[in-house]
Amino acid sequence: MTSILETENSDNQTQKEITLIENILKKTGPSYTKYILGIGSVLTACLTIWLGLFITPKDEHLGNTVRLLYVHPPVAWAALYLAFGTTTLASLLWLWPKTRSYFWDKIAGASAEIGVLYLALTLVTGSIWGRTTWGVWWTWDARLTLTAVLLVLYIAYLAIRQLDGSDKTKANRNAITALFAAIDVPIVHFSVLWWNTLHQTASVLTPGLHLTVPLSMGLTMGLGFLCTTLIWGWMMKVRYDIELLKVVDSEIELQRAIMQRRNEP
């Protein structure tokens, strides 16, 4: 009798695990959102590169170097405001008791990882820009230094996410670290106004939303912003899928469950 009950329980558990896996595979499979974001990213990227490299005019003073402007500000926007903004918001939503959910912790981590990639690209493209316009690869200018500090802060945040602990402890620790790192974002933003820096202030759009560059340049830069935003959206979707799959994989301890069933009479 006991043996029959045990077998039934084991079979129920197996069925539950199968259903869980089926659900997660369905949830992380192909979807219209991923297709739209993916195809949109590729199309806008191709269009930005084509317009940026071949169609838009050279600048009177900067020559071809101006073409870096279609890459550098868009990746900086995606890193500082989109990715790290999402990480900060998601961390706040985790810390706020009414909205607390592990979903926010995973969103914060996913967005920070993408933000680090974008910020590293911001520094690299900015450094190339500096070499051609200022004559140096790097200078200890306030904007540059604070951006480098920001990169280190978010790399530290990603490292802290790997530390051990209970799920709640880890999520609390992650959220507090993210908020600490986020303090540097507005400092980076206002650094060009607070200090006398080599880095220029916002110069393409005036505060009254008046375009100071030819329309083709403004449109190409706008397309660059759209492109980095779409890429961020697609990456977020796939990165979140990975988090979900990892949770299911570890939660049900598949290998152990399989071995146990194998050893059953």
Binding site residues, other proteins, CB under 8 A: 4, 7, 10-11, 14-15, 17-18, 21-22, 24-25, 28-29, 45, 49, 52-53, 63-65, 67-68, 71-72, 75, 114, 117, 120-121, 124-125, 128-129, 131-132, 231, 234-235, 238-239, 241-242, 245-246, 248-249, 254-255, 257-258, 261-262, 264
Where helices occur in the chain by DSSP H, the ranges are 2-27, 32-50, 72-77, 84-95, 102-133, 142-161, 167-182, 184-194, 215-251, 254-263
The residue among 24 and 47 lying less far from other proteins, judged by its C-beta, is: 24
- Cα dist from 115 to 85, 88, 140, whole Å: 9, 12, 22
Tokens of 12: 């129920």
For the bound state, the minimum distance from the C-beta of residue 161 to other proteins, rounded and expressed in Å, comes to 16
The residue among 120 and 192 lying less far from other proteins, judged by its C-beta, is: 120
How far is residue 262's CA from residue 265's CA, in Å, rounded to a whole number? 8
The residue among 89 and 117 lying less far from other proteins, judged by its C-beta, is: 117
The residue among 108 and 235 lying less far from other proteins, judged by its C-beta, is: 235
SS3 category, 205: strand
For the bound state, the minimum distance from the C-beta of residue 231 to other proteins, rounded and expressed in Å, comes to 6
The residue among 14 and 212 lying less far from other proteins, judged by its C-beta, is: 14
For the bound state, the minimum distance from the C-beta of residue 252 to other proteins, rounded and expressed in Å, comes to 8
Tokens of 255: 């290998």
DSSP 58: P
